Amino acid sequence: MAKASSLSNFTRAQVYLTGHSLGGALANLAAYDIARSLERLPNRVTRVICYTFGSPRTGNHAFAHDYCRVVPDTWSIINDQACTQKYTNASHQN
């Protein structure tokens, strides 16, 4: 992965990240890290966009709050009928 400072020749950029399951959680972390790094560069107009599929929640409440501020263009696609989701919900009811 290129360092954010190596993108300094570009004034506009879009960065897309995606992942499934654990890869989705890693995509969230990478999106946050990239967006935070790009915030520090002057004269930047950068969109970091993240799409995840069936990924677990990443981080605690404080991280989630800051993540939404830093990477507002995030889409999480889930299947609420998946057997793993049913198993997880059932295990929390006990």
Enclosing H/E stretch for 80: none
- Tokens linked to 93: 């009811």
- pTM assigned to the model: 0.74
d(C-alpha 56, C-alpha 25), whole Å: 6
What residues does each domain of the chain span?
4-93
Kindly list the strands in the beta sheet with 45-53, ordered across the sheet, starting from the edge strand earlier in the chain: 12-20, 45-53, 74-77
What would the pLDDT profile of 42-86 be if each residue is shown by its tens digit?
A: 776 789 999 999 998 899 999 999 999 999 999 999 887 766 544
Are 27 and 18 in contact by the 8 Å Cβ rule? The answer is yes
> Alpha-carbon distance 25 to 40, whole Å?
24
User: What pLDDT is attached to residue 70?
Assistant: 94
